[in-house]
Amino acid sequence: MDLKGFDHPGRPGGSGPRSVKVMIAGGFGTGKTTMVRSVSDIKPLTTEETLTQASADVDHLIGVADKTETTVSLDFGKIGLNDSLMLYLFGTPGQERFWFLWNGLFKGALGAVVLVDTRRLASSFRAIEEMERLDVPFVIALNVFPDSREHPIEEIRDALDISPHTPIVACDARDRASSRDVLVTLIRHLKERSAVALESR
């Protein structure tokens, strides 16, 4: 697929790959850490301490004002989708109700993956609500576990009360190709949204 025309300021001057910040959200145990780990091109960072050391060039993407003291770990990874598009992945910390404490965590995020475990749909309700409140476009990734039952997508859309425009895809968060497909779906969704927004101007 052609992602080259993706309209994001990225790096000033337009040289090098565009950097896109993507949140990986979802309820506890839905596979956020697993997805960041499986898909990342770099050895993913899971603690704030290592994050501070290794992310000098992406500090502006993180947007967290004071990262020196924290007791919450954050998953961070990075994947080049093609020569011109680099995604920086930020797993959201647990306990969505405390996200407001992470001022700036979502700053500059162009989109999000909300992971859902269909055996426990409700665990991701809060994450979906927060994305809607923060106005971050998202796709739903159904992380399939061995004993997950197969549900028609539209049934899940109803149960989660998700707009018909929001993509819902199944994935295996442990699998790199599958997780990458979810990210490609998200980028496509963002492109479609920006195309629609441009048309309606």
Ligand X SMILES: Nc1nc2c(ncn2[C@@H]2O[C@H](COP(=O)(O)OP(=O)(O)O)[C@@H](O)[C@H]2O)c(=O)[nH]1
Residues that bind ligand X (CB under 6 A): 26, 28-34, 143, 145-146, 172-174
Nearer to ligand X, 98 or 158 (CB): 98
Candidate residues 30, 33, 38, 178; the one interacting with Mg ion per rule CB under 5 A: 33
* Residue 51 near which of Mg ion, ligand X, none (CB within 5-8 Å, type-dependent): none
Residues 26, 31, 33, 35, CA torsion sign: negative
Phi, psi for 177 (deg, rounded to 5): -65, -40
Question: Who's near 123: CB < 8 A, 6+ residues apart?
Answer: 26, 27, 28, 29, 30, 117
CB of 33 to Mg ion, least distance (A): 3
| Residue 30 makes contact with Mg ion by CB under 5 A | no
| Residue 143 makes contact with Mg ion by CB under 5 A | no
Determine the interface stretch with Mg ion among 31-39, 50-58, 106-114, 148-156 (rule: CB under 5 A). Answer: 31-39
Q: Count Cα atoms within 13 angstroms, Cβ side, for 191.
A: 13
